[in-house]
Chain A
Amino acid sequence: MKYAREGSSKQTRVPMNNNVLIVPNRFKDQYEFEYVIDLQDKILVDAGELNLSRVTFVEPYSMLSLLLMGRNYLRKSGNKLKLAGIPINIHQYLHRMDFFKTGVFEVPERLNEKLLLKRSSFSNRVLEITEIPNKERESVRVISTIVGVFRKRASHILKYWLTDRIIDYFVTVISEICQNIYEHSLDSGYLAMQTYSIGKENIVRLSIGDSGIGILKSFENYDIKYDSPAHLMELALTTPISSKREFGYGLCQVNAIVEKLKGSIYLRSGNASVSTLYHKKGAGSSFNFQKNELSNFDGTQISISLMG
């Protein structure tokens, strides 16, 4: 039996059996998922199979990031990463979110059809995983479709926050972030959205991710001063800088909307992240966090959440 260290936790070790890696139960939010990203090198080099038996909950950001990890594996090895030991509730959720439809993973265990979640009963609170192509014309068509589906389901997805204006805000956010994928990443990406509850807290989370060139590389020929990769990402959120035009509005606009809605935005690219918790702003505590020297994870991933 081999063991892999679980992220920065020096005490916990994850058993690794030959080329099977038992994945830690770290899919509850973007911060916990860092432990899984820490294992990425082992996954890409050593593991041909991920055992998810310990996973009890998966939220959209972690799901998309696992998907990107699987796609990186497929691109590097030419083989599909095997997913095994998936608990029934996780299997139901991933199936419902069209996770397996992406064709990135090999899943030997099939879920009994009777156990599949009915689309009609659960559809209203999610936007299933959708691939955003890296070509403008195709991407525009996909973005329009996503926005159309979102408008139809918005009263359910945003049930706890519903106003006329919030739907329009989210349409703007979806549009701006999806366009960043084909404009800047040079790769296709994925989007997913879901409303869920943890205890008494309701959370709506929109997640978008790609494995493209990332923010740092995107700005490498741009004359802008920054102290660290996370600082550059902070600038991308707060000032209308662009790597493609004289100036850009997308991320800046998204950040302004998240602030208006008192939500939170998490941006990760390469080995850095920025997290801004507007719902904590004004409460006397810190609400903006920059991290550098994280484990590298290609591309850019964004998670936008409202809590209520």
Chain B
Amino acid sequence: MVIAIKKKAEELKIKTPDLITRHMGRSIYGSIRNVVEHISDGETLVLDFDGVKVIDSSFIDEMIVKLIVDSKTARQAFYIKLKNISAIAETNIDLVFRSYSNYKNKKIVVITENICQNNVFYIGPLSDQERDVVEFLRVNKSISVDDIVKFTGWTKDQVKKTMEDLDSMRAVKKQDNDVYFPV
């Protein structure tokens, strides 16, 4: 499912290109939340920010962070991917996610459709190991725990823990047979 954020903002009579303040974040979150009620299990929700320039930390906290938390706790598991994020939006999201991860002691990340400023396809504080797995998966489309053991040389327990963590962050999609797919 793809949601064009600019269009969504215009429906709510919010002026673009800048989506700023908690008030705007709450309005757009409320509107998207209604749509998410009908999402299929395991589906990816693509938030397309084409035409949006600045999103500030208040907006990010009220909209993106809440949706990511929902994606982990909703009855139907779903995944979030950001598309067409501006450089400043990426910088602001990264700062919010790092602060959130530090203070909650719980990492928060989001996968992106486009390459980011630090040459990866996600925003947030992943470890080097986690980054390697996410990047490998993006290129190779699917991977099993055994493949990752071969690819990395880590122990099977290490790999399982890493993949469980990435799955709980909604940074990878897990299938029943311990095979993982990119978001």
Contact = CB atoms under 8 A, between A and B. Distances in A.
Interface of A: 136-137, 140, 143-144, 147-148, 151, 165, 168-169, 171-172, 175-176, 179, 240, 246-247, 249-250, 252-253, 256
Given A172-B54, A172-B92, A247-B99, A143 B87 contact: no
B58 A247 contact: no
User: Which 8 A/B pairs are nearest by Cβ-Cβ distance?
Assistant: A249-B57, A168-B88, A175-B20, A240-B99, A171-B54, A140-B23, A175-B56, A247-B103
A246 B87 CA distance: 27
B113 interface: no
A165 B86 CA distance: 10
Nearest to A176: B56
B131 interface: no
B43 interface: no
Contacts of B86: 168
Nearest to B20: A175
Chain B interface size band reads 20 to 34
A147 B23 CA distance: 16
Contact of B56 (A136, A137, A172, A256): A172
B53 A249 contact: no
A161 to B, nearest CB: 15
B96 interface: yes
Of the listed residues B18, B58, B61, B86, the one surrounded by the most CB atoms of chain A closer than 10 A to its CB is: B18
Contacts of A250: 57-58
Main secondary structure of the interface of B (DSSP, over half): helix
B23 A171 contact: no
A12 B58 CA distance: 47
A143 B96 contact: no
Interface in B47-71: 53-54, 56-58, 61
Given A176-B57, A247-B99, A171 B20 contact: yes
Nearest to A148: B15
Nearest to A175: B20
A169 B88 CA distance: 7
B88 A253 contact: no
Given A179-B21, A179-B22, A168 B99 contact: no
22 contacts: A136-B23, A137-B23, A140-B24, A143-B20, A143-B21, A144-B15, A147-B20, A148-B15, A168-B88, A171-B53, A172-B92, A176-B56, A176-B58, A240-B99, A240-B102, A247-B99, A247-B100, A249-B58, A249-B96, A249-B99, A250-B57, A252-B99
Interface of B: 15, 18, 20-24, 53-54, 56-58, 61, 86-88, 92, 95-96, 99-100, 102-104
Contacts of B23: 136-137, 140
A140 B14 CA distance: 11
B103 A240 contact: yes
B15 to A, nearest CB: 6
Contacts of A151: 18
A249 B61 contact: yes
Contacts of A171: 18, 20, 53-54, 88
B137 to A, nearest CB: 30
Nearest to A145: B15
A256 B20 contact: no
A253 B95 contact: yes
A253 B24 contact: no
Given A140-B23, A175-B21, A176-B58, A249 B95 contact: yes
A253 B57 contact: yes
A18 to B, nearest CB: 48
B23 to A, nearest CB: 5
A217 B86 CA distance: 37
A179 B53 CA distance: 19
A230 B134 CA distance: 43
Contacts of B95: 249, 252-253, 256
A45 B146 CA distance: 79
Contacts of A143: 20-21
Given A143-B20, A144-B15, A249-B61, A175 B99 contact: no
Given A147-B20, A171-B88, A247-B103, 4 more contacts: A136-B22, A151-B18, A240-B103, A247-B99
Contacts of A169: 88
